[in-house]
Amino acid sequence: MAEIGEVRPQAPQVNAVAVGDVADALKKGVSDFLRAPTFGLFFGGIYTAGGLAVLYFLYRLEMPWLILPIAIGFPLIGPFVAVGLYETSRRLEAGLPLTWKGILAHVFHQRERELSWMAFVVLFVFWIWLYQVRLLTAIFLGFKSMSTIASFLHVVTASAEGMAYLVVGTIVGGLLALVLFSTTVIAIPLLMEREYDFVTAIITSVKTVMHNPVPMIAFGVVVAVLAIVALAPAFLGLLVVLPVLGHATWHLYRKAIA
């Protein structure tokens, strides 16, 4: 909270972003990963380990059918996990040394800043995703037997209820993903770099998407497609995909905010 008499910084100015800027950000994301692969693999490894832990506990809880819905929703928390990658790209861009102590200290320092509030936003949307999966499953597939992943896939692809479940679930999930993408894509790197309150950061992020709908949504689609493809080999593809997308997000943020 601001002290009495403190002058709040003006809201960031949003720049125009073109599709070419998105392509350039993705190229720079690949470049940053190749320049600092150890850091990329480290942060990507943390995310991948989290996904594997989810798979393990679902099997232990005898709920393997939940693996697919949760795996698809798991990338929703990616932007928050990528904070260390944003800091790596910032240091590469500024010509600063890449040290474990410096980068990890900066990441842990975010607990004392406004960025920590974004964790609640991200986790809240992820919780809504899990809740709506359970709700739609109960509504459309409540009396179906789904003890394995194979039986779940059979139910959702070979019955009218299953197809309705897929259609409604895709629409609802797409809307949730759009909301989370719009509120975090610019907000998280902005809060990591500058001193703003998280509400201003969220408004700025949404404003950026609204002012540049085609390139920003195109970037969101690229992120979603690559993340889903990366999930296929037991989350292992995220070792590379997450770092590249994290670095690319930083460069897109730098283009979008003056």
pLDDT tens readout for residues 153-200: 777 788 888 888 888 888 888 888 889 899 999 999 999 999 899 899
pLDDT tens readout for residues 209-223: 999 999 999 999 998
**How much is the pLDDT for 253?**
96
Q: Are 67 and 58 in contact (CB under 8 A)?
A: yes
Q: What residue type is 84 in one-letter code? A: G
User: Which of these, 31, 56, 28, lies nearest to 250 by C-alpha position?
Assistant: 28
Transcribe 229-252 into DSSP letters: HHHTTTTTTHHHHHHHHHHHHHHH
pTM, two decimals, is: 0.85
pLDDT at residue 115, rounded to an integer: 83
* Segments in the chain below pLDDT 70: 1-9, 62-69, 71-76, 143-148
Distance CA 189, CA 52 (A): 26
Would you state the pLDDT for residue 1? 44
Domain boundaries, the chain: 22-101+179-256
